[in-house]
Amino acid sequence: MYREVLAVDLPWLDGFERSKKPQRLPVVLTPLEVQALLRETDGAPEPVGLIIRLLYGTGMRLMEAVRLRVKDVELARQEIIVRDGKGGKDRVTMLPDSLLEALRVQLALRREWHEQDIKLGKANVWLPDALAVKYPNAASEWGWQYVFAAINYSIDPRSKAQRRHHVDEKQVQRYVKRAALAAGIAKPTSPHTLRHSFATHILQAGYDIRTVQELLGHSDVSTTMIYTHVLNKGGKAVVSPLDNL
């Protein structure tokens, strides 16, 4: 502002640097801890249990999962298209084999709900980026429906219309925390921890960093590089001198 707008030269601004957030290593669960956590979610009401498995199986963020639309699930190609992710970017991630049948069942149930909603005149769903104005009939079309819709109707605070919203993300957060405690996991665990674990485990499986970057939707590979630090054994994989005695 001083230099470009006010044309005032302040010598103390030379070499000025913006403050930076301290870099924190992400919390990552081991594969055994993930297995234990998922076992504890077996009793979770659907689709919460399926969403939790999708978070680890696809690397999606929590809100990307609960906002997933029917048109973005490709069962034949076994892929999920994540629309308008962080930074407004789209990306493609895999659909795990082990979740194919569960997702088919969820879509079949969702189709029944949609047909009921059409009869009741409550099939309209919220559309992003003013698409409702451009395509007035799209809001009630099957492809735009939420895969993980709420059981009950709610009032949209903007349009005042009564319709189905997506599953409450707080419900997923509560079940993940509850499952982590039941599994005896001491690490602070949240739905986002499953995304960190996904990235670390596929790196451990030998996939290259660029592939992981694309699956996570990172614009800069340096963001993805943080998971390589988690992979190091102990302090930078250095053998302690105590172990050489």
How many angstroms separate the most distant Cα atoms in the chain?
77
> Which member of 71, 165, 177, 192 is catalytic?
192
Q: Which of 86, 122, 165, 177 is catalytic?
A: 86
Comparing CA positions, the residue from 72, 107, 110, 111 lying closest to residue 92 is 72
Q: Is 174 a catalytic residue?
A: no
Q: How far apart are CA 215 and CA 82, in angstroms?
A: 10
Catalytic pick from 53, 61, 91, 196? 61
How many angstroms separate the Cα of 156 from the Cα of each of 29, 137, 140, 164, 208?
Answer: 37, 18, 15, 9, 43
86 as an active site residue: the answer is yes
| Contact between residue 33 and residue 175 where contact means Cβ atoms under 8 Å apart | no
Please, where are the H alpha helices in 48-168? 48-58, 62-66, 100-120, 131-134
Q: Which of 67, 114, 163, 218 is catalytic?
A: 218
Could you give the CA distance from residue 84 to residue 51 in angstroms, rounded to a whole number? 18
Angle at CA of residue 189, ends 183 and 195, nearest 5°: 115
Residue 92, exposed/middle/buried by CB under 10 A (0-12, 13-18, 19+)?
A: middle
175 is catalytic: no
- 61 a catalytic residue: yes
Residue 204, H or E segment? helix 191-204
Q: Which of 67, 69, 166, 195 is catalytic?
A: 195
Residues with active-site annotation: 61, 86, 192, 195, 218, 227
